[in-house]
Amino acid sequence: MPKKAILPAVILVVLLGGAAYRLFSPSTTAFPAGAPINSYLKGEMAKLSLPEAPKGLTDHIIMREDGSPIKLSAMKGKAMLINLWASWCAPCRAEMPELANLQRELGDDSFEVVAITVDRGGIAQARETLAEWGVEGLNLYAEPTMAIALELADGKLPTSYIVGADGEVKAYFLGPLKWDTPDAIALFTALKKGAL
């Protein structure tokens, strides 16, 4: 291989490696001493980041399975794990079964996994994709303009937000996580009870 071709290849590998490290490396955001969430940051949950300033639910409009619109902020009142995903996102596919398991384990009137597809095909495409992936048990939500992903996650998927019943974002994560581990179940059980 000529020397001129090696340098661009090395640069590409370094850039891709750096991007992968930033995407999947554990968070360095410090949680305030004594924050209620601290005792739940174990295993996969130790990778979560804390918002730099208090952050509530946005007024982005999403579509429910029946096609009716709802503002994200109008969903305040129950604890949620809000997940932004797309059919073309391999890491989204990897974590979707764990999200469905978490919903089956803890989902009720006080907690919901709100998985929002940003695919242009909306609810119909979400239904088809989840069936193809063998994922069941999640309510379908869509925001097909991708504005929510661009504004809340700089277009990076998957991105997840842990939101209390008060509508405040407690933590977030960019990338896939194992959302159904015992540590995750403990964190979301505490979230449901209003302990975080």
CA dihedral 51→48→120→130, nearest 10 degrees, is -150
- Cβ atoms of 50 and 29 within 8 Å: the answer is yes
Contacts of 122 (CB under 8 A, 6+ apart): 63, 142, 144
pTM: 0.81
Which domains does the chain show, CATH number per domain?
29-192 (3.40.30.10)
Contact 127/141 with Cβ under 8 angstroms? no
Question: pLDDT tens digits, the chain, 196 residues: what are they?
Answer: 555 555 454 444 444 344 333 433 444 344 555 567 888 989 999 999 988 888 888 899 999 999 999 999 999 999 999 999 999 999 999 999 999 999 999 999 999 999 999 999 999 999 999 999 999 999 999 998 888 988 888 889 999 999 999 999 999 999 999 999 999 999 999 999 999 8
